[in-house]
Structure formats: C-alpha cells, structure tokens
Structure 1
C-alpha cells in the first residue's frame, strides 16, 4: 500500500481532528480488497474458505482464572476517566502458560436513567489506540444520549499502545523507512525498497519475538470476551470503525450468542485475500481523489488546474509533481532536516482522503509545495498519518499495524517480481496511487512469522441484529466491502451513507447518527435498505 503503510492499515481518522484526520489526519494504510459477488474467496491453495466457526458456549476450565479476575479501577489522569489492566493468555492454545497485560479505560454513564451496560469502542488500525480514541473522542464526542446510558469502554488490543506494544524501529530509523521510495525506477531503487522492508521485519522480530505470533485479530477478539465478562455484561455492545469492524465481526463469528448491539462502521470484508484487499483499497483512494479533484478545481487556489479541469487531468498534474519530487525533494523547514520526498508527499495526500474536512488543508498544502517549493504542509499531513510527534517520536501504530496484518493473512506478494507483474492492474485501479500502493504491499513478504489466518466468511449464525455501515465513496474501506460483509453476516442490516470520507457515524449526517443512536439506545436496527446522505 502506500508508502510504508501495510496492506491493511485502515483506520478511522477522527480522533485527533479532534486529531488524526481520520485519525488525525489520518491513518490510512491501505487495506485492500474487493469483495466477490458471492462474498466468498479462494485461498492460495485454490479451496474456498469455510465460515468462521463459533467457539463452544461454555468457557474452557483453563480460561476460568482469566474470566474470574477482578478489575481494579483507578484515576488515569484524564478527568472523568478511569483506567485498569486485565490479563489474557498470551497463547489461547496454552492458557496455563504466559499471560499478557492489556490496558482498559472507561467513562461511567452520565445519565440518571438505568444504564444499558458497557459500550466497547475501537477506532481501527490495526494498531490504533482505543484508549486514546475513548479519551480524545468517543468518551466526549459520542452523542450525549448514548454516553448517558452506557459506560463507555475501550481496550488497547494486544501489541498496541499501552497493551505490551510491538516494538521495531526507533524514531530516526522510522524517518528513513517512511521516506523509502515506493515507486522504484530501476534495480537499485527496487533493491533499496526490499532492503527497507527486510530491515523493518527483522527489527520487529528482534525486539518483539514473544508477541509477534500472538497479536492476531482472533486473539484480540477473544480478549474482548474476557473483558465483557469482567465488566459484568451478558452480551457485548460494541461500535467498531474501519479495522474495528473486522475485529467486531470476528467476535460475532466466535461468540454469536454473546453479541448485543453491534455497529460495524466502515466495514471490511474478511473473505478477501491481501492482494485483493490492497487492490480494492487502491481503487477506493482513486475514487476519493477524483471527488477531491472535482472540489479542488472549483477553487481559485487549486494547484491541480482551474475550472474545467477534469479529475483525470488533475491526477496527471499530481503525478507530474510526484515525479519532480522523486528527482528533487523540496525543503520542508523540518528541524530534523527532512525534505518532502515523493513517498512523504504521497502519504500526505492519502491522509487527507480520509476526511473531506481535510480537503482545504490539502489544497493549501499542495499549493505551498507546488508553487512555493515549501513541503511543510504535506509533511505535516504525512506525520499525522504516521503518528510522528514534533520530537521525532512515533507511536507504535505502524509496528502494530504490520504485526497484525502480516499474521492475519498471507502476504499479498511473494517478491518484487510478483509486484511488477501486478503493476498494470494496480495502475488501472488508480493511475495516481497504483504503483506506490502495489509496492507498499510488499512489506509482509519478509515478515519473520508465518501468517496464522486466511480469508474467510463470517456468518455468526444466531447473533442478534448487527448494523453494518458503508460509505459510498469511502477511500479506505470501499462500499462494496460493507455490502459483502452484510451479505455474509446472518443477522446484518446494511446502513448506507451516500457521502465522502472514511466511516459515517458522527461525521455530520443526522440521518446516520439518528439510525445508529436509535439502535444503540432501543435495540431497533434501521430498516432494510436504509440510505442516508
């Protein structure tokens, strides 16, 4: 996927625009895939994967110590929020063995009416901190009537942020990694890209060997069930965005009878393999760019062309700019001496595709770089995407993202020759981003741990109604993924947002918010075929 994001880096951008443009400006990554009309997929062996099988209803005796532990809540320095930790087995196949400690936060229901229990939230990623999301956005920004009836709860998944984070490269090494050219023009540049991916993988293996085999989405979903029990909830109420929809759907597949009110917003399709996922997401970013281009050329300060310029012509202007940066990066007034490279500029543009609210910022950043040779605006967008702070420190988002993705699915490509064969297909999906996103999907090829997951359908037979939300022009989780997941889940209701940006809940549509709030508060899912704008 794109400059250094791993193939399924899908996250909701919202927390820091509240900050991260869709996650602060974002975090993107590229998830990728296109759902087949049947909703099924074919694995590398040529067999059609079976539906995710539910676990036994009774809790195995070896897990009882985990299900019976007590949570000790304490103030965690953010007004109104409490924090704790819980233990889960490192390896669910050997629950008597080593354990892992997971960070949990909550904000108690604020209303006087009888609480509806806990509402677990996850912003996506994989690798996004759910605790940060709760404290910075969900715990204060979710509708007041929802916060009044639910204890708002979040848990950083294993390997993420406060939950024994995966560690790989330091800040300076990450700076070099994020600047690696992902559109190699010759053998030397191709070899440099392969070397960078190998170094990243080897570093993760050296620093986090204990964790890398045990950060799968299935394991994280099982952790969620332990938390559900410790919170005293007979069923799990959950809102997951982006990758959080895959996590929630996986939970539903494992524990269908324990599903309460579940919203999957910006849905992923678990039936797709990594290459298809990346290809679909590539097309999704192209769709989002065309929407941005149409808006941009209506403004006098658009550097991609004026009135009458087509999205295709605007894309040509942007590609020409990227080629110029590939040959000669421009200054970015960065205290650490970084310049705006093609890789960082591409990341900055992709970051802004997550939220149409960032289009003005992107337009200004492009104008600054293209007309005034000042790359600071696009560099800021790229840093937000990567969660790099002003001191040059990175969160572990990128490390955890790769660790989870590379464990959940076999790699998209077997090597650089495989990528080169796929380039025409990716460039057709996106003339602007196709080449870079194809090469960026090479990262799992050199991962030190073999994938334990495969593409699979999730039916969750017997689950309560699940609301699947899809945005028509979503760049990171294409709408057809939501359609496919809704067909797979036996109790799903598809809620459609005819709009732009990544995810739909809390992004300005009163129709979407009303439908989801009604479901969360009263248990009434939206009618079949419900569509909002």
Structure 2
C-alpha cells in the first residue's frame, strides 16, 4: 500500500484532525512538440471554455459530497487528449473546482492547487481550504482552483483496480511481515493480482498516459482555459513534483510557485522509500520522547525502550487480529494507523490513545487512523487515491524487475524502519511496479530550468515523509527562496503557522522572497 502521500487536514471524527502524507514521484522530461502535421491539433483544447456549475454531480463519495457543499464553489470538466502524441485521438476529462476571488477589482488571477499523492483530489483540497483562506490574500485576490489529475476522483475515466470489498479483504488479510519466504511469496502474488486487475479494469492506454508527464500538460491546458497567461501554483509534497515538472516543460508560463514538502527530483524509487522509512523512524522517536513526559504513555516512560514496548504490543497482530467494532484490525492496518499519526504532531495524542486501547484488545481507533490513510469513508467506499497512487508511481519510475533486486529494496526498507516490522503501507510497491503492465514514462533527473521565476520552497525540519534537505536542495537548484518550519509534520503552509503563511502570502502576491535563512518556530 502507498506510504507517501500528502493532502490537507481533514476531520475523521472525535480527535482526528490529521495532515496526511504524500509521495514523491520522479520529474518528467520536457514534453516533445507534436508532429508538424498536428501543430494546431491542440488548439481546440487550449481554446475551450469551461462551463461552471453545481459541484454535487462531481462527488464520488461521502467525503467529496461533504467538501463540495462548501458555499461559493463551482465545478467544470476540462477536456484533454488521452495521449498527447495523438491529439486528434481519444479524449478524457479532468475535474476542476474553483472559488472566485472575493475582491474581483484586485484579482491577480487563479491559484491552482495540488495536494499531493499521487492520487489526491485537488478539488476536495481546494474546497476544504476555502474557509481557511477567506480573509487572506488568496481568498481576496485569487480564484482558488483545485483539479483532480487525470484518472483521479471526479476526472473521467478513473483509474480502477480494486472494488471496495476487495480493498477491505486485502487490508484484513495476514500475508505475514514479508521477512520469510512464504510471506514474501504471498506479497508477490498479491501484487501481481493487483497489477492484473488494474490493467483489466482501467485499460492499458489509460495506464500508459496517467503519469506526471501528462499531468503537467493537462495543467497547461487548464491554465489557458482559466484565462491566465501565466500559472500561479501551490503544490504540496508530490504536488511539488508536478510544480517543478511543469516549470521544466513550460518555463515561460510560470508566474509564481509555492512548493511545500519537496520531492527530490534525482532520487529513484528505492532510495525514496528508504528515506521515508528513516523519516518515520525519526518521527516515532520524537513521539516516544514527547509521550514519555506524560503519565499513561502507551510506549512507556523510557524512550530508549519505546520501540521494544511498541513491538511487544503490536507483533501479536501478526497472528491474531484485534477486534474493532464490527471489523477487525490486522497487523498491516495497525502499522498503517501508526504511520498515519506520524504525519503530524497534532495526531500524537490520538496515537497514544489508540495504542492504549489496543492494550485492552480494542483496535478500533487504530483502524480509524488506517481508514483515514486509505481514504475509506464512513459509508465503506474508498476514494480513487490508492489505485491512482500505484498507476502514477509505476509509470513515473524505472522499475526494479529482478527478484533479487526487489528483495534488496524490501531489506533496505525494513532496516530503515525496523519498528514497523515490514508492516509499512508501501511495502508492496516494488512488487506491484515490477509487475506493472505498461512501461515507465519518466525517470529521475536534475531538472533543466533556465529562466524560470524563482519559486518559494517550504521545508519542515522534522517532516517524516519528505526529508528537509530535499527542500533545501530544490530551492538552491531553482534559484528560489526557502522557508524552514521548525516543526514535526508533513507540510506547513496554511496549516496554522502565521510565520510560514505571512512569508508565502507575500510571495504569491508580489513575488517577494523572504530573506535568506528564514526560519519559523513551531
């Protein structure tokens, strides 16, 4: 299951207000121009007019239904080529949501948002951000626009691999921790079945054209359809990859970019997965140290023994699932719930409560955390995030197909996050991509960005999902500004820190970069 995601905070009832993570994917090569005979074939897409209307028909589940009730939002469908190499061929649509600037006389244009993933819904993210930005420069001077990348959410067709029932069954299964030949074989069989269902239910043509290479082309068509000569963009986590990939493909069409929780464009899939494991291990250590200061800490008052205490509590789930209301908590879901809570320090009290409940045999709160990670709604329906995640990851990265190479990646992942014991939610990614039915369309590389206006990069010191140094390096690579947030969470802009927000808003309005070495306390 995917490990690296990013979206904006969402309420999951009671104590759950979580920042959910994001995943990196590789930078895409600069798009090639269409053949001379088709030089004008894209005009019909760039010249289209969006027909805005009620967002209710765009909802795909209870979560999006709730988000699309936000007052003042309106939705439309953007038509784009399925395959940009065949612009006169089949077309697909991209779902778009906007909330108009409150001060049209002072309007600066559109601010297009992507919350990460891959597979996160930009439409939902933008709708949920409307109350947050209502009284700041974004709400007053920009049309806030979110789009569901091709294959995601309200975009049609959606990537489809598993039914809701199949997803539930996969999560409840106990294939082991991947460290024995039998459990490793079970994981491989599960991954192959998943890849085969994706191909059967989505189609090879869609899977072959769902990656970041094509998303940035859709983004440029969207820019034109919105009536903007240049793009103002806000990208979180994987959304930063979309941002710098767009800048590489269309350098003269960038106005401003805020890139929060940066992905390293030169890092391959294996290294990114290992780096994340290291990040979550650090986050667990911070959680244990903070927890130990309080009575009732589920992992004990000695942080040095916290991992062992945690393993003693969770390892029994490998053979005996815990009760969780009318459902049960598997070992994999237990670890996923822990990972979910690591994305934000605000969720640590919830994690401690969940682990204390597990001591009494009650896995319900950990299961709620895992459901939030997988975007399973109260109605039992899943968003398209999980299926789209793999579809994009597997075409955005060169894959490891040699079985020995896949085993090596698993071993490195386990060593990087030993407290998760092979139960981390992205453990099967190398296996899935090794069986993927279409070739990769991108590869890691240092982006070529001459003449691109300097972006503002925000990097969090103890971000568990996207390493701090990746943001430092990206800001230097792009000649941009850097804001360091001294916190322990994944991404920071518009999440409640005034220092971060003031610097980013000033940049979006007039392009003013903060002074060097700008740091914002948590």
Q: 1:422 to 1:55 in 2, by over 3 A?
A: closer
Separation in 2, partners of 1:492, 1:182: 45
- Is residue 243 of structure 2 the alignment partner of residue 248 of structure 1? yes
- Aligned match of 1:85: 77
SS at match of 1:93: coil
Q: 2:170 aligns with which of 168, 177, 192?
A: 177
- Aligned match of 1:408: 396
SS at match of 2:499: helix
Separation in 2, partners of 1:378, 1:412: 32
Worse-superposed segment, 467-476 or 319-328: 319-328
Separation in 2, partners of 1:245, 1:353: 21
Alpha-carbon contact 1:12-1:125 (below 8 Å) kept: yes
1:251-283 CA distance string (max 9 Å, x none): 111111111111000111111110011011111
> Superposition pairs for residues 28-427 of structure 1, below 5 Å?
28=21, 31=24, 52-53=29-30, 60-77=39-56, 78=69, 79-111=71-103, 113-136=105-128, 138-142=129-133, 144-145=135-136, 146-164=138-156, 165-180=158-173, 181=175, 183-209=177-203, 210-306=205-301, 309-310=302-303, 312-334=304-326, 338-370=327-359, 372-412=360-400, 414-415=402-403, 417-427=404-414
Separation in 1, partners of 2:227, 2:294: 54
Worse-superposed segment, 322-331 or 174-183: 174-183
Q: 1:30 to 1:56 in 2, by over 3 A?
A: closer
- Aligned match of 1:477: 466
Q: 1:19 to 1:85 in 2, by over 3 A?
A: farther
Superposed displacement of residue 99, structure 1: 0.8
Separation in 2, partners of 1:208, 1:452: 18
Superposed displacement of residue 119, structure 1: 0.5
Unaligned runs of 5+ in 1: 34-48
Q: 1:94 to 1:434 in 2, by over 3 A?
A: farther
- Aligned match of 1:454: 443
Superposed displacement of residue 56, structure 1: 6.8
1:222-266 CA distance string (max 9 Å, x none): 111111111111110011111111111111111111111110001
Separation in 2, partners of 1:466, 1:62: 32
- Aligned match of 1:523: 511
Superposed displacement of residue 357, structure 1: 1.0
SS at match of 1:292: helix
SS at match of 2:42: helix
Superposed displacement of residue 316, structure 1: 1.6
- Aligned match of 2:492: 504
Q: 1:199 to 1:26 in 2, by over 3 A?
A: farther
Superposed displacement of residue 383, structure 1: 0.5
Unaligned runs of 5+ in 2: 57-68
Separation in 1, partners of 2:325, 2:492: 35
Separation in 1, partners of 2:124, 2:15: 11
Alpha-carbon contact 1:14-1:20 (below 8 Å) kept: no
SS at match of 1:435: coil
Alpha-carbon contact 1:25-1:381 (below 8 Å) kept: no
SS at match of 2:336: helix
Separation in 2, partners of 1:18, 1:497: 28
Q: 1:182 to 1:111 in 2, by over 3 A?
A: farther
Alpha-carbon contact 2:265-2:447 (below 8 Å) kept: yes
1:294-323 CA distance string (max 9 Å, x none): 1111121211002xx12x421121122221
Q: 1:154 to 1:205 in 2, by over 3 A?
A: same
Separation in 2, partners of 1:19, 1:270: 38
Alpha-carbon contact 2:103-2:141 (below 8 Å) kept: yes
> Superposition pairs for residues 7-22 of structure 1, below 5 Å?
9-16=4-11
Q: 1:510 to 1:29 in 2, by over 3 A?
A: closer
Separation in 2, partners of 1:424, 1:347: 19
Q: 1:54 to 1:527 in 2, by over 3 A?
A: farther
- Is residue 467 of structure 2 the alignment partner of residue 488 of structure 1? no
Q: How many residues align?
A: 500
Alpha-carbon contact 2:213-2:441 (below 8 Å) kept: no
- Aligned match of 1:433: 420
TM-score by structure 1 length? Answer: 0.88
Superposed displacement of residue 176, structure 1: 2.0
Q: Once superposed, what is the RMSD of the aligned Cα atoms?
A: 2.4
Q: 1:20 to 1:107 in 2, by over 3 A?
A: farther
Separation in 1, partners of 2:483, 2:43: 38
Separation in 2, partners of 1:520, 1:418: 44
Superposed displacement of residue 66, structure 1: 0.5
- Aligned match of 2:59: none
Superposed displacement of residue 409, structure 1: 0.4
1:12-60 CA distance string (max 9 Å, x none): 3424469996xx6454465599xxxxxxxxxxxxxxx9x9447679994
- Is residue 6 of structure 2 the alignment partner of residue 5 of structure 1? no
Separation in 2, partners of 1:432, 1:197: 23
Alpha-carbon contact 2:29-2:249 (below 8 Å) kept: yes
